[in-house]
Amino acid sequence: MQTVLVIGSGGREYELARQMSLSAAVGSVIVAPGNAGTALLSKTVNAPIGPIEIEAQIALVKERSVDTVIIGPDASVAAGVGDALRAEGVAVFGPNLQPGKLESSKAFAADFMKRHNVPQPEFWTAGNLEEALEIIADKSPKSYVLKADGLAAGKGVVLPRSKQEAVQTLELMFSSDAYDGAGMTGVVIQERLSGPEVSAFAVSDGKDIFMLPFAQDHKRLQDGDQGPNTGGMGSYCPVPGTIVDSEQTAKIHDIAKKTIAAIASDGTPYQGVLYIGLMLAKQRGGDPVVIEYNARFGDPETQVLLTSMQQSGVDVADLLTSAANDDISHLQVPTSVKASLTVAIAAIGYPNSPRKGDVIHGLGKKYKNVVVQHAGTAKKDSDIVTAGGRVLYVTGFGDTVAEAAQHAYAAIGKDGIHFADMQYRTDIGYQAI
């Protein structure tokens, strides 16, 4: 029986831990640091260790004889948690620092795609403000996007509406920590494309890949894609053929295979999940173009992807631990995939300053075809209370996206899961339904 350590504390990590706890091959699960919900999963305990506390993680792994570590957050990848734990002889799901740069440096990713002929928008890199201003001097501001080079907690991409906004953004990116300092090392200026966006996820053991279904995200706070950007208010999978046809699907799978092979040929094989953000670009006749790589699972995409895989008969714990242990060749992609759809329930004030401490009701009830994943929750006396912006995810599943949506929404509200002044979108999955 394996002991598995999951690093992270959000809804993504709740779902990773839940899948591990479901497996007969897993004897115990530790989540570091976890949340109030992960502590309630069977066979699971939390450990109060942060995502980049590498020394404490190493000590924990030794003390508890951990067999496999599953890394959730991008910050852990970028801090070198994968390298450090592999050096201790532990199997790790999550890439090393070097291939992790595909996410943590936009300039590295652009150069990688150029060297390996992966379709991407046209791009220019600038190491300082003067260079950047020169690059945009003769361009229309609506023809490009500005990307701060480093990790910027999802805030590092700006689509300027005017020349003035572009110049101001560049000044901020290079000079301050307005973008978490992500632009101070450089900025990538990218051709602006348009078309539907699809997220692809390839689980890899370093050689083979296992393609998960495609998913779509909902970044804006309010219905109709209005309001401020958030970490993600919902997601669903699989994406129907009316949005991604079989030819585009084959091209995306080729991009995933090519990327994993190219990373290995660059020297450090990729073990973990590669998240590929794509645009089916009108400017390329609908062909998929990579607009970003992430070196980890998406949040909240994980909540739907793993629920769907489990409902489609895949042993998710086996998939992830096998990827960490160098061999996924025995795992089969299911021929027919169940749909899942998740609705993020956020606290009032999210995304700026979420209120904490509201009692969450309805968690004890059973809901048909629903999994509830905790994210920003805490235990207070005998209650579970809100403790973050995105508090929990209500994930429905079924044969179709519409059915999954019905189940998810049936579990939310006065007679189901609720708390004071909660915010959620009522149109998740509109693209597919």
Residue 193 partner contact from ligand AMP, ligand GLY, none using kind-dependent CB cut-offs of 5 to 8 Å: ligand AMP
Question: Count of residues binding ligand GLY (CB under 6 A)?
Answer: 6
Phi, psi at residue 235, to the nearest 5°?
-165, 160
298 forms part of the interface with ligand GLY (CB under 6 A): yes
- Residue 418: name its binding partner from ligand GLY, ligand AMP, none (Cβ under 5 to 8 Å by kind): none
Q: Which is nearer to ligand AMP, 26 or 145 (CB)?
A: 145
- 26 vs 78, which CB is nearer to ligand GLY? 78
The alpha-carbon radius of gyration of the chain (Å, integer) is: 21
Among 15, 103, 149, 301, binds ligand GLY (CB under 6 A): 301
Q: Report if residue 103 touches ligand GLY, rule: CB under 6 A.
A: no
13 binding ligand GLY? (CB under 6 A):
no
Residue 417 per-residue DSSP state: B
What, of ligand GLY, ligand AMP, none, does residue 232 touch, CB below 5 to 8 Å by kind?
Answer: ligand GLY
Q: Coil, strand, or helix at residue 264?
A: helix
110 binds, among ligand GLY, ligand AMP, none (CB under 5 to 8 A by kind): none
For helices 301-311 and 316-324, the axis angle rounded to 10 degrees is 110
Q: Which does 190 bind (CB under 5 to 8 A by kind): ligand AMP, ligand GLY, none?
A: ligand AMP
Write out the residues near ligand AMP by the rule CB under 6 A: 121, 145, 157, 190-193, 197, 277, 291-292
Rounded Cα distance between 290 and 280, Å, is 9
* Nearest distance in Å: CB 391, ligand AMP: 24
Please state, in angstroms and rounded to a whole number, the distance separating the CA atoms of residues 370 and 190. Answer: 40
Which residues touch 128 (CB under 8 Å, ≥6 apart)? 174
**Residue of 321, 315, 330 whose CA lies nearest to 68:** 321
- The least distance separating ligand AMP from the CB of residue 387, rounded to whole angstroms, comes to 27
121 binds, among ligand AMP, ligand GLY, none (CB under 5 to 8 A by kind): ligand AMP
Query: Pick from ligand AMP, ligand GLY, none: which does 186 bind, CB < 5 to 8 A by kind?
Result: none
156 binds ligand GLY (CB under 6 A): no
The closest residue (CB) to ligand AMP is 292
* Cα dihedral across residues 72, 364, 394, 2: positive or negative: positive
CB 143 → ligand GLY: shortest distance, Å?
Answer: 25
Q: What is the DSSP string of 356-397?
A: --PBPBSTTS--TTEEEEESSEEEETTEEEE-SSEEEEEEEE
Using CA atoms, how far residue 117 sits from 56, 61, 265, in Å, is: 40, 39, 14
294 binds ligand GLY (CB under 6 A): yes
**Any contact of residue 232 with ligand GLY (CB under 6 A)?**
yes
311 binds ligand GLY (CB under 6 A): no
In the complex, least distance from residue 225 CB atom to ligand AMP, rounded to whole angstroms: 10
Q: Of 56, 57, 55, 40, give the one whose Cα is nearest residue 6.
A: 57
Give the count of beta carbons closer than 10 Å to the beta carbon of residue 373. 30
> Is position 217 an interface residue for ligand GLY (rule: CB under 6 A)?
yes
Distance between CA 412 and CA 345 in Å, rounded?
9
Q: What burial class does residue 151 get, using C-beta atoms within 10 Å of its C-beta: 0-12 exposed, 13-18 middle, 19+ buried?
A: buried
Residues that bind ligand GLY in the complex, under the rule CB under 6 A: 217, 232, 294, 298-299, 301
